[in-house]
Amino acid sequence: MSAAQSQGDIFDVKKVRRLIELMKEHDLSEIDLKQADQRVRIKRGQEAVVYAPPVAAVAPRTSVVAAESAPVESSRILVISSPMVGTFYRSSGPDSAPFVKVGDRIGPEKAVCIIEAMKVFNEIPAGISGQVVAVLVENGAAVEFGQPLIKVDPEA
Amino acid sequence: MSAAQSQGDIFDVKKVRRLIELMKEHDLSEIDLKQADQRVRIKRGQEAVVYAPPVAAVAPRTSVVAAESAPVESSRILVISSPMVGTFYRSSGPDSAPFVKVGDRIGPEKAVCIIEAMKVFNEIPAGISGQVVAVLVENGAAVEFGQPLIKVDPEA
Amino acid sequence: MFKRILIANRGEIALRVIRACRELGVETVAIYSQADRDAGYLQLADEAICVGPARAADSYLRIDRVISAAEIGNVQAIHPGYGFLSENAHFAEVCRSCDIGFIGPTPEAMARVGDKNSARALAREAGVPCVPGSDGLITSEQEAVTVARSIGFPVLLKATAGGGGKGMRVAANDLALASAWQQASAEAQAAFGNAGIYIERYVERPRHVEVQILGDTHGTMLHLWERDCSTQRRHQKLIEESPSPRLAPETRTAMCAAAVRLAKTAGYHSAGTVEFIVDQQGNFYFIEINARIQVEHPVSEMVTGIDLVKAQIRVAAGEKLEMKQEDIVPRGHAIECRINAEDPANGFRPCPGRIERITAPGGFGVRFDSHVAAGYVVPPHYDSLLGKLIVHQATRREAIETMARALKELRIEGIKTTVPLHLEVLANSAFHDSQVDTTFVERMLAG
Amino acid sequence: MFKRILIANRGEIALRVIRACRELGVETVAIYSQADRDAGYLQLADEAICVGPARAADSYLRIDRVISAAEIGNVQAIHPGYGFLSENAHFAEVCRSCDIGFIGPTPEAMARVGDKNSARALAREAGVPCVPGSDGLITSEQEAVTVARSIGFPVLLKATAGGGGKGMRVAANDLALASAWQQASAEAQAAFGNAGIYIERYVERPRHVEVQILGDTHGTMLHLWERDCSTQRRHQKLIEESPSPRLAPETRTAMCAAAVRLAKTAGYHSAGTVEFIVDQQGNFYFIEINARIQVEHPVSEMVTGIDLVKAQIRVAAGEKLEMKQEDIVPRGHAIECRINAEDPANGFRPCPGRIERITAPGGFGVRFDSHVAAGYVVPPHYDSLLGKLIVHQATRREAIETMARALKELRIEGIKTTVPLHLEVLANSAFHDSQVDTTFVERMLAG
């Protein structure tokens, strides 16, 4: 304790600033000072791997499922995702035609599937306009909240 | 605690600056000094992998403290480090002159200090030739295995 | 035994239930909100189903979504954990109507003990002492004054639907009572949608002591002795221990027997907690029953050697409790510290964020129940509990020493936690001497 | 009590001793070799002193360096841990001559029990059964044949200075004995610098059962019941448990009493282990005394609730043991699995390297004693023990379930470990039925 006190406050910003200036001046990547229970550790610049030119273009991270319920744009294709947990049905009954199939043009009001939750059959409207490019879930499969169901191309 | 106090404040920016200058002078990439609960660790330049082309020249890794007991060359300055755990004495008695002081020219057989371990006083020979540029440990201080004791410039 | 259950909770208690199930050979379905999608404990479940966005009201609290997840997860029962839907009698009823087991008491028993006023009536029926107070709800300010005068000031106004200190007011005289009455009922209405208020004598500097109970569906009701949770801050428990220090042996026996009597009268089974306050003279008074597993259940597990969560699942599956009351012999002393993501230096403000590094303590007598790991991001949407550090030693003194050692080993980098506060409490001489009542922490922090 | 002690060891046992000291309020000086310089547990010590390069013979085994470190570290005592200098009577003597306490038995007691032949003589003196065998060392092949015929084949040849299976040979007849004799004495000479050999009857498929003892310097000697360490591979213990399953109660009582009698006869104090083998008929025979704390000590701690390392330090400081034999009541069942950096798929070759990630198990009944963390590099110079996973439950069956659950939670990335082997053993029906003797693992691996 007394040693620590005699050394003053290592959280002294001025001292840290001087250390950083020192690092910049001399192009240091790391300083690590430790004494008793005090420690100052500063890292600068790129810690790890440096890739040489040409730098490969990394695709931007996008998420098609992170939205609360509305579809999210990924490049051009939109996704209708499940607003609830339940069982996915493509048609209103075993003998009925599916609500949508690939190639169909749909508007926002169009029911695209049924999700059954707690014995209640919920018709799910598309919410968007475009052409169905994929149905991602099989008839009768369980779906969780936010799970992508149907892909739609809004510009087709 | 007493050791820490005797060595002063390692967060002293001036001391750090001197270490960094030493590193630059000798193109070291890393310094890691540890004693009791004190530790100073400084890294310089890009530590990690650099992918080519063009391949950046990576400074050779050198260690000033890792040697088993013999001093290891670091650019130009050599270090005599402690071959045992014990108490460091600069002279053979309280009234005697120190074995070496900064500026002395020494040969391999020259005793540079005494390390007392288990009541036995062990004279430590230099093992190398050159000019003493620094004595790193105070008289009467505890030293651990591998701890740097004396710096020698072999070309001076 | 169940083949597969759903865990309708998150964080450390979800992990706790997963661990119990893995030992029982029961498969688990975890549910999670989008805020918890990267939580590591989900990988220990056999299946994980997203039930909604971060906001609890849209995910963990949505009965329809939880039930749907149970249906598509094909489970036989639901473990509700604590908080969220755990004490929601309607949820327990929905489970029953959907033919899904509920790992907890029946909806009827839950409703009976969940309302404080009806719980007090049950206590009187079971001959369990309550704090002197109104016989039922108070309907007017005038009635409040009459009752307060008859039981004697100072009095405490409490919301019948309340919890966590909401809707509570102390009044020292007629004048104070008038404004306290209005504030308490308004607050209760806003917080719980139920303005019902009752009045009790205000007990000064009480200890909070609770009894862990455990019953099966075959008529056996046992207690696992008591826990002392007097180390609180603003009615939030910080440190819990068992046994309760400075409790007279005869008080202890009487209190545990009272808890069992009350639970039997309520037709209760499963795990539960009967809470009491103990006044400075050593009298105990019933306060409420928590109809669920409790955050601090591990301290009772440590001293009795009984896994409460496994027992809870077993009795929900219809198994008989094999043990007898005389087999439940407490051993040593256990202490739990709640490690919260809060900044003690900043008014205990919640401190969500990314945990850069964590080093868990270990060694003899140390248990660390936590769902967090390096890289875990503490979401801002839920309570701030990161984990529970529990120690078990031969004596209270040694338990304190082990806890201090373990707290110093526990390193959490990236966010602020309550570790420094715990170390301060453990170093406090009043805590060492067990001179702790529910006002201790605030007095310590003020001092 | 000591103010400051030095820990003459490394790895998990160094951390174990640091934890005990922190709870006792004793300062610690750790020593380390250059290979261990970055080990995290060193930061929990009050001081850390480098004593030499990686090779143990130049660092942890160098008496002069360890004593120098004790002197410059200004300690009152040294805890030797296990292995390294822990059973070196000369080291204990040097400590005494330097006026440094040694946390272990006296050099005299250590020497008396350290030599197997003299330990057998002590056992006979204390009326403790030994495996029928030679009265002392055998000096010629002719004498070996005579003795072997008198006690009956098959016989076991053992090095008096031995350990870990070195210098051991089984011979089924005269012819085999001749070559076994030469091999064993040559191996013993090479390994221990002592060719002394004695002969015992070879017990087929024995169980390895050992008794934990604990004594103070005031004449009290207690036992903490037994551990079963029959789950071994090539004489290396893999899994230890307490109590020993299938041990008849009267055998258990007799064995524990024998261990205490033997320790008293030897003038022993501190913690120690008296090892026995139990034959298929349930007879027990003394084998040897380990004059130190043992790797598997935690299983005894869990069932008795006694912290052995703290007790060891206390008695070394001259304190009296407060407890009595009748206070030491075992509770439940404890199992320990040694987590080694070895590759079970590759002949259990040691597997040093960098641990990229580690997830420690937690929850009820789980203790993990380990010095490793993410980023830790397992040095190739020392034994391969990464940590010890210990569980404690009400019954053996539940302990097995908890251990399996905890082993599956334990994730170590970057190197191979013995975790898969442990899971295989735990799933084996012979292990479930406690049909385990010291040949079990090899038979299991042979398929």
User: Of the residues D10, D120, D292, D314, which is catalytic?
Assistant: D292
Q: Which residue, among C9, C5, C1, has the nearest Cα to C293 in the 3D structure?
A: C9
For chain A, the distance separating the N- and C-terminal CA atoms, rounded to the nearest angstrom, is 72
Exposure class string for B57-72: b at 16+ Cβ within 10 A, else e:
eeeeebebbebebebe
Measured at the CA of D186, the angle between CA D185 and CA D190, to 5 degrees, comes to 115
Asked if C364's CB is within 8 angstroms of D367's CB, the reply is yes
Asked if D51's CB is within 8 angstroms of B86's CB, the reply is no
| pLDDT at B3 > cutoff 90 | no
Q: Write down the H helix ranges in C134-173.
A: 141-151
> Exposed, middle or buried by CB within 10 Å (0-12, 13-18, 19+), for C255?
buried
- State the Cα–Cα distance between residues A138 and A135, nearest whole angstrom: 8
Tell me which chain D residues have a C-beta less than 8 angstroms from the C-beta of C321. Answer: none
Tens of pLDDT, residue by residue over C400-430, are 999 999 999 999 999 999 999 999 999 999 9
- Distance (Å) from the alpha carbon of C73 to chain A's nearest alpha carbon: 8
Cβ pairs bridging A and C (under 8 Å) = 50
Quote the tokens at residue B136. 């790193």
Tens of pLDDT, residue by residue over D86-114, are 999 999 999 999 999 999 999 999 999 99
Q: Which residue, among C288, C228, C223, has the nearest Cα to C436 in the 3D structure?
A: C228
Tell me which chain B residues have a C-beta less than 8 angstroms from the C-beta of D73. Answer: 142
Of D16, D331, D398, the CB nearest to C331: D331
Q: Within a 13 Å sphere around the CA of D189, how many CA atoms are in the beta-carbon half?
A: 7
Is B112 in a helix, a strand, or coil? strand
Tens of pLDDT, residue by residue over C170-206, are 999 988 998 888 888 888 888 778 878 889 899 989 9
Average pLDDT (D58-85) is: 96
Average pLDDT (C250-254) is: 97
Quick one: pLDDT band at residue C222, thresholds 50, 70, 90? very high
Known catalytic residue at D405: no
Question: Is residue C320 within a helix (H) or strand (E), and if so which, with residue range?
Answer: none
Quick one: pLDDT band at residue A9, thresholds 50, 70, 90? low
Minimum CA–CA partner of A11 in chain B: B11
Of A6, A28, A38, the CB nearest to B20: A28
User: Of the residues C120, C252, C292, C314, which is catalytic?
Assistant: C292
Report the DSSP pairing between strands A28-35 and A38-43.
antiparallel
Is the CB of residue D378 less than 8 Å from the CB of residue D436?
no
Q: Which residues of D touch C (CB under 8 A)?
A: 15-16, 19-20, 22-25, 40, 44, 298, 301, 305-307, 309, 331-332, 359-360, 362-370, 373-374, 392-394, 398, 401-402, 404-405, 408-409
Asked if D50's CB is within 8 angstroms of B144's CB, the reply is yes
Report pLDDT for A36.
60
Minimum CA–CA partner of A116 in chain C: C68
Tens of pLDDT, residue by residue over D149-179, are 999 899 999 887 776 667 788 999 988 998 8
Is the CB of residue C97 less than 8 Å from the CB of residue C78?
no
Asked if B87's CB is within 8 angstroms of D51's CB, the reply is no
Average pLDDT (C309-328) is: 97
Report pLDDT for B17.
72
Quote the tokens at residue A101. 């199939």
Tens of pLDDT, residue by residue over D335-356, are 999 999 999 888 888 888 999 9
Is D167 in a helix, a strand, or coil? coil
ipTM reported for the complex, 2 dp = 0.75
The residue to which tokens 């004791």 are assigned: B149
Is the CB of residue C83 less than 8 Å from the CB of residue C11?
no
Tens of pLDDT, residue by residue over A21-51, are 777 777 676 677 766 656 666 666 533 222 2
> Exposed, middle or buried by CB within 10 Å (0-12, 13-18, 19+), for A41?
exposed
Of B24, B41, B53, the CB nearest to A26: B24
Measured at the CA of D44, the angle between CA B85 and CA B140, to 5 degrees, comes to 30
Residues D223, D227, D230, D236, Cα dihedral to 10°: -90
- Distance (Å) from the alpha carbon of D137 to chain C's nearest alpha carbon: 42
Asked if C405's CB is within 8 angstroms of D19's CB, the reply is yes
Average pLDDT (D383-387) is: 95
Report pLDDT for B25.
66
Alpha carbon C224 to chain centroid, angstroms: 15
Contact partners, residue A49, CB within 8 Å, separation at least 6: B48, B49, B50, B51
- Distance (Å) from the alpha carbon of B138 to chain D's nearest alpha carbon: 14
**Chains D and B touching, counted as 3 or more CB pairs less than 8 Å apart:** yes
Average pLDDT (C271-282) is: 95
Report pLDDT for D382.
94
| pLDDT at D287 > cutoff 70 | yes
Contact partners, residue C304, CB within 8 Å, separation at least 6: C224, C225, C328, C329, C330, C331
Minimum CA–CA partner of A141 in chain C: C72
Average pLDDT (B12-40) is: 66
Minimum CA–CA partner of A3 in chain B: B5
Mean pLDDT of chain A: 71
Asked if C51's CB is within 8 angstroms of A145's CB, the reply is yes
Of C44, C331, C364, the CB nearest to D301: C364
- State the Cα–Cα distance between residues C84 and C93, nearest whole angstrom: 15
Report pLDDT for A67.
29
Average pLDDT (D71-96) is: 96
Tens of pLDDT, residue by residue over C6-56, are 999 999 999 999 999 999 999 999 999 999 999 999 999 999 999 999 999
Of B13, B43, B53, the CB nearest to A22: B13
Tell me which chain C residues have a C-beta less than 8 angstroms from the C-beta of A114. Answer: none
Q: Within a 13 Å sphere around the CA of D53, how many CA atoms are in the beta-carbon half?
A: 11
Report pLDDT for D117.
80
- State the Cα–Cα distance between residues C356 and C373, nearest whole angstrom: 9
Report pLDDT for D163.
65
pTM (predicted TM-score)? 0.82
Tell me the torsion sign for CA atoms B47, B53, B56, B58: positive
The residue to which tokens 């009976």 are assigned: C112
Asked if D360's CB is within 8 angstroms of C307's CB, the reply is no
Q: Does the CB of A147 have a partner CB in chain C at under 8 Å?
A: yes
Asked if D373's CB is within 8 angstroms of C374's CB, the reply is no
Higher pLDDT, A8 or D205: D205
- State the Cα–Cα distance between residues C297 and C241, nearest whole angstrom: 10
Residues 39-78 of chain D whose Cβ lies under 8 A from any Cβ of chain B: 46-53, 59, 64-65, 67-69, 71-73
Tens of pLDDT, residue by residue over A60-113, are 222 233 222 333 444 689 999 999 999 999 998 888 999 999 999 999 999 999
Average pLDDT (D172-193) is: 86
Quote the tokens at residue C66. 């939880």
Q: Any bridge partners for residue D78, and if so which? A: D6, D102
